């Protein structure tokens, strides 16, 4: 590929031919302010904020659409370019309400950032501002017309990505405003949350998140969306150990810049307060809470006297490490059948403009991982039924993560040993001999294997509830003590052990997975979604 | 070179005209017309840009049937994309119905296979689409620079006073709607007033009463 070399802000940079000035500047760490340009959308060059001074050009050039040329001398940071931006920003503020103190975008607002860094310190406007008020676009989206900078990213997203052009610019001049067809709204678009993400200002905000938290109080934890097997890369935004919202994290192989409204909306369960917080052991005198050491010691004793095939019920919400540890324990005890249940939607919902991203039928994050680890799917599409064998098991019965909501109260009552590992109390686990609290995916480190057989890491966003421990740690230490081996010390180590036994994961380590994950070794011929 | 034997068209409202209209609509256009458009669509290059202002509009008119359907098909065939045909199609709808209601936007969108929201965006961008019903005479008074210097605002006030309406509202008898516009491109002859598709130039505040009277009695 041929390249061009140019000078930006006094520094030489070489980029492939056809690169825009904006991207060329990015190469050397110079961010040219912009609103209308978005890497995944067409560039109309209408916000006039990315104008840069190109030597020899008769007037400032929009850097988002101007291609870098050999020998060009570009200034983005001083003189004309800076003056231009200062002027443009002043225009943007003519009718802007400056309501940052009550605006959700405050703290992550591009208008705020740009004006703060290079706008005028004081406004000169004396005329009254025009007022639109706010408009409910339906779904989770609320529109504050007065904050809008008319970048039309939302209009282009609906047209190019969702391919459902329900948004448009209505009227002209200072009366121009983003709107739908009268009261029609966004028509329940499954992708509408993304327009809130790409809005550079506080014009489009989430109703769900409205006035819940200030942007600067939120902690961002890289994670993977747990709501379908697509495994969109996300950031979990938390404050004071409470999840407040999920935001997509860019990954061109999986979800681009986007995620679906279904995934985005299902996070309240991570905040559930009805948690198992310490291990319980049922003995002859009823339930006791001996702490982890006591519980694991007596469980180990019971396991030693209980060899033979086990029945195990797992969940596709559990990580690869958790499921791998369960499998290892089951194998040590004499093998057996591990089953899981997972809800399935009737159909897939692809994003028309980026069909790699699809809300998959499997509404759990690790069904592919479960399949790779040899787990067997049972039950119906609403994740009920299919556990008759396990319910009537007479040997060892281990349940991991499945809340058994549809199961009878005598579930597992005939089992010689019934161990329940879960985050939440389960009615059907009253026959259990051991009830062990484990963390949710949001409280632990681990990996999911998505529908593309891509292994992706997530990190803990919340503190564990009470004494809850990751399942890989609980199960791993049991296996280790039965085998006289060292206990896995970290999720990375647990994954390492797993990878040694599963050809698809061989050679993959946490280092190699990085923040965007990596495909498993070969497309495994697994049953299920195709 | 002999003098032309046939003068097909004489604009009765052109610059310098003092209002001595000696031709009727039929004289000017003959009888082969639908509204203000020749049945054969007129010259191709000008067809989409003709002003459509019919004195008799039917807000319930069907989009489109009969000769209007033919004209619509002709418009549609002239553009490589449906989006290209949007503006002339809207012109046709306004010619028929007198204004573009939300329902009309929806219907035009369906006819062209466009999104309703996009049609709304286009209609609201252009001020010459009436978003609400207007009177039999739509009076557009220019108050841009030249006209303003020659008492454009006073002419506008006179129209509002004599028709007893508010800006943009329609008089009770349904005859007049007065709006203010930016530049009718007749800056040489201020104050310029466009009434339906006719220009009235050099209008003074004192002329307004008589002008309205003539409109009431004789039409355009």
Mapped to the 3 state alphabet, what secondary structure does B53-107 carry?
CCCCCCCCCCCCCCHHHHHHHHHHHHCCCCCCCHHHHHHHHHHHHCCCCHHHHHH
Q: Does B45 score more than 50 pLDDT?
A: no
The residue among A439, A451, A462, A401 whose CA lies nearest residue A231 is A451
pLDDT tops 60 at residue B15: no
Q: In what order do the strands lie in the sheet with A141-144?
A: A134-138, A141-144, A204-206
Q: Give me the sign of the Cα torsion angle B59, B65, B67, B68.
A: positive
Among the partner-chain residues A171, A179, A181, the one whose CB lies closest to the CB of B125 is A171
Q: With beta carbons less than 8 A apart as the criterion, state whether B87 and B100 touch.
A: no
Give the model's pLDDT for residue A335. 87
Cβ atoms within 10 Å of A83's Cβ, excluding its own:
13
Backbone phi, then psi, for A451, in 5-degree steps? -65, -25
Q: How confident is the model at residue B196 (pLDDT cuts 50, 70, 90)?
A: confident
Question: Would the pLDDT of B152 be above 80?
Answer: yes
| Segment (H or E) for A38 | none
Q: Do A181 and B120 touch (CB under 8 A)?
A: yes
Q: Establish whether the linkage from the previous residue to B116 is cis, with ω within 30° of 0.
A: no
A166, A171, A182: residue with CB nearest B115: A166
List CB contacts of A524: < 8 A, sequence separation 6 or more: A371, A372, A453, A504
Residues of A in contact with B105 (CB under 8 A): 181
How does residue B6 score in pLDDT terms, banded at 50, 70 and 90? Answer: very low
pLDDT averaged over 10-residue windows placed end to end, chain A, 530 residues:
93 96 95 96 95 94 95 92 93 95 96 95 90 93 96 97 95 93 92 97 96 96 97 97 97 96 96 95 92 95 87 96 95 91 96 96 96 94 92 92 92 94 93 96 96 96 96 95 91 92 90 93 52
Q: CA A327 → CA A218, A333, A447, A454, B113, distances in Å?
A: 37, 10, 16, 20, 56
Parse chain A into domains and list their residue ranges: 3-92, 96-106+124-217, 280-519
Give rounded-to-5 percent helix, strand, coil for chain B.
Answer: 40, 10, 50
CATH number of A96-106+124-217: 3.30.70.20
Residue B13 has pLDDT above 50, yes or no: no
Q: Return the structure tokens found at A172.
A: 């002209």
Pair of tokens at residue B84: 């290209």
ipTM score for this prediction:
0.85
Q: Work out the pLDDT band at B12, boundaries 50, 70, 90.
A: very low
Q: Which of B63, B56, B67 is nearest to B106 (CA)?
A: B63
Residue labelled with tokens 């329900």: A166
The residues in B 118-137 lying below 8 A from A, measured between CB atoms, are: 118, 120-121, 124-125, 127
Domain B137-218 has CATH 3.90.950.10: no
Highest mean pLDDT among A151-155, B93-97, B214-218: A151-155
CA A254/CA B170 separation, integer angstroms: 57
Return the pLDDT at B217: 86
CA distance A49 to A522: 46
Structure letter (DSSP) for residue B207: G
CB within 8 Å: B120 and A167: no
- Taking the C-alpha atoms of residue A427 and residue A408, their distance in angstroms, rounded to an integer, is 9
Least reliable range by pLDDT among A294-303, A496-505, B135-144, B211-220 = B211-220
- Percentage, residues of chain B above pLDDT 90: 45
Q: How much is the pLDDT for B49?
A: 40
| pLDDT at res. B195 | 87
DSSP A276: -
Contact A181 B125 (CB under 8 A): no
* Closest residue to A168, CB basis, from B102, B106, B117: B117
Interchain CB contact of B115 with A (< 8 Å): yes
A167: which chain B residues are within 8 Å (Cβ-Cβ)?
A: 117
Q: How far is CA B171 from CA B133, B134, B160, in A?
A: 12, 9, 9
Residue ranges per domain, chain B?
A: 33-125, 137-218
Find, among A245, A188, A251, A167, the residue nearest to A211 by Cα.
A245
Classify residue B182 as exposed, middle or buried by CB count within 10 Å of its CB (0-12, 13-18, 19+).
exposed
Question: How many CA atoms lie less than 13 Å away from A54 in the CB half-sphere?
Answer: 21
Task: State yes or no: cis peptide before B64, omega within 30 of 0.
Answer: yes
Question: Any idea which of A504-513, B30-39, B166-175 has the lowest mean pLDDT?
Answer: B30-39
Which among A280, A341, A276 is positioned nearest to A313, based on CA atoms? A341
User: What CATH number matches the domain at A280-519, 3.40.50.740, 3.30.428.10, 3.20.20.140, 3.50.50.60?
Assistant: 3.40.50.740
What confidence category does residue B56 fall into, taking pLDDT thresholds of 50, 70 and 90?
A: low
The pLDDT, as a whole number, for residue B24 is 55
Helices A291-304 and A471-483, packing angle to 10 deg: 50
Rounded-to-integer distance, Cα B12 and Cα B20, Å: 8
Q: How many CB atoms lie under 10 A from the CB of residue A506?
A: 12
Joined together, the tokens standing for residue B112 give 């062209």
Burial class, A505, CB count within 10 angstroms (exposed 0-12 / middle 13-18 / buried 19+): buried
Residue A426: which of A414, A415, A412 has the closest Cα?
A412
Question: What does the pLDDT read at residue B145?
Answer: 95
The yes-or-no answer to whether A96-106+124-217 and A280-519 have a common fold is no
Residues in chain B with CB shorter than 8 Å from the CB of A181 are 102, 105-106, 115-117, 120
| Structure confidence at residue B55 (pLDDT) | 52
Q: Is the pLDDT of residue B186 over 70?
A: yes
Looking at residue B95, its pLDDT comes to 85
A3-92: CATH class: alpha beta
Interface test with A, best of B121, B122, B182 (most A CBs within 10 A): B121
Burial class for A495, CB neighbours closer than 10 Å (0-12, 13-18, 19+): buried
């Amino acid at each position: 590929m041929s390249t061009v070399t140019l000078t930006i802000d006094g520094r030489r940079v070489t980029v492939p031919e056809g690169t825009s000035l904006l991207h060329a500047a990015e190469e050397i760490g110079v961010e040219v302010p912009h609103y209308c340009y978005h890497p995944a959308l067409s560039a109309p060059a209408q916000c006039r904020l990315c104008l840069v001074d190109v030597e020899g050009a008769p007037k400032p050039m929009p850097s988002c659409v101007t291609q870098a040329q050999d020998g060009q001398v570009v200034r983005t940071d001083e003189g004309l370019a800076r003056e231009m931006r200062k002027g443009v920003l002043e225009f943007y503020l003519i009718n802007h309400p400056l309501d940052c103190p009550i605006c959700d975008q405050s703290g992550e607002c591009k208008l705020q950032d740009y004006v703060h860094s290079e706008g005028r310190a004081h406004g000169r406007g004396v005329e009254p501002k025009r007022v639109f008020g706010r408009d409910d676009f339906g779904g989770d989206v609320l529109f504050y017309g007065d904050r809008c900078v008319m970048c039309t990213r939302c209009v282009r997203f609906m047209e190019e990505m969702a391919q459902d052009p329900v948004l448009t610019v209505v009227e002209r001049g200072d009366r121009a405003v983003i709107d739908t067809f009268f009261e029609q709204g966004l028509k329940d678009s499954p992708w509408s949350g993304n327009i809130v993400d790409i809005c550079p200002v506080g014009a489009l905000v989430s109703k769900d998140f409205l006035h819940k938290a200030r942007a600067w109080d939120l902690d961002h934890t890289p994670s993977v969306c747990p709501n379908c097997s697509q495994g969109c890369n996300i950031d979990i935004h938390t404050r004071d150990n409470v999840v407040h919202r999920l935001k997509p994290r860019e990954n061109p192989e999986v979800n681009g810049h986007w995620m679906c409204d279904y995934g985005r909306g299902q996070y309240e369960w991570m905040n559930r307060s009805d948690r198992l917080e310490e291990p319980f052991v049922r003995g002859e005198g009823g339930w006791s809470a001996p702490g982890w050491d006591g519980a694991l010691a007596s469980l180990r004793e019971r396991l030693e006297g209980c060899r033979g095939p086990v029945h195990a019920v797992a969940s596709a919400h559990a990580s690869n490490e958790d499921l791998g540890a369960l499998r290892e324990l089951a194998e040590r005890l004499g093998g057996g059948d591990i089953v899981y249940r997972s809800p399935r939607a009737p159909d897939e919902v692809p994003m028309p403009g980026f069909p790699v991203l699809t809300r998959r039928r499997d509404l759990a994050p690790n069904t592919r991982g479960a399949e790779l680890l040899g787990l067997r799917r049972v039950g119906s599409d609403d994740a009920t039924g299919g556990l008759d064998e396990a319910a009537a098991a007479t040997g060892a019965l281990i349940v991991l993560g499945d809340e058994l909501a549809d199961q009878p109260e005598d579930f597992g009552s005939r089992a010689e040993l019934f161990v329940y590992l879960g985050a939440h109390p389960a009615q059907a686990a009253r026959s259990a001999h051991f009830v062990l609290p484990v963390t949710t995916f949001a409280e632990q480190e681990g990996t999911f294997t998505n529908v593309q057989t891509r292994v992706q890491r997530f990190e803990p966003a919340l503190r564990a509830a009470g004494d809850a421990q990751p399942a890989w740690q609980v199960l791993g230490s049991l296996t280790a003590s039965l085998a006289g081996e060292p206990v896995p010390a970290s999720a990375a180590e647990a994954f390492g052990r797993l990878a040694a036994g599963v050809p698809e994961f061989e050679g993959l380590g946490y280092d190699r997975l990085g923040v965007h994950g990596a495909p498993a070794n070969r497309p495994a011929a697994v049953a299920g979604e195709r | 070179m002999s003098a032309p034997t046939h003068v097909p068209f004489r604009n009765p409202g052109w610059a310098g005209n003092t209002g001595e209209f000696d031709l009727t609509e039929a004289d000017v256009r003959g009888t082969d017309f639908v509204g203000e458009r020749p049945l054969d669509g007129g010259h191709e290059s000008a067809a989409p840009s003709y002003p459509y202002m019919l004195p008799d509009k039917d807000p319930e008119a069907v989009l489109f049937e009969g000769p209007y359907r033919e004209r619509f098909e002709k418009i549609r065939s002239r553009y490589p994309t449906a989006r290209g045909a949007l503006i002339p199609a809207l012109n046709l709808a306004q010619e028929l119905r007198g204004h573009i209601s939300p329902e009309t936007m929806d219907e035009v969108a369906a006819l062209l296979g466009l999104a309703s929201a996009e049609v709304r965006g286009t209609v609201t961008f252009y001020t010459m689409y009436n978003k609400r019903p207007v009177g039999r005479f739509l009076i557009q008074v220019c108050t841009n620079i030249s006209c303003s210097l020659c008492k454009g605002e006073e002419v506008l006030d006179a129209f509002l006073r004599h028709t007893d309406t508010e800006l943009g509202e329609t008089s009770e008898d349904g005859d007049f709607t007065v709006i203010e516009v930016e530049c009718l491109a007749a800056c040489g002859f201020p104050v310029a007033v466009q009434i339906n598709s006719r220009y009235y130039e050099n209008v003074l505040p004192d002329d307004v009463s008589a002008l309205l009277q003539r409109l009431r009695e004789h039409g355009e």
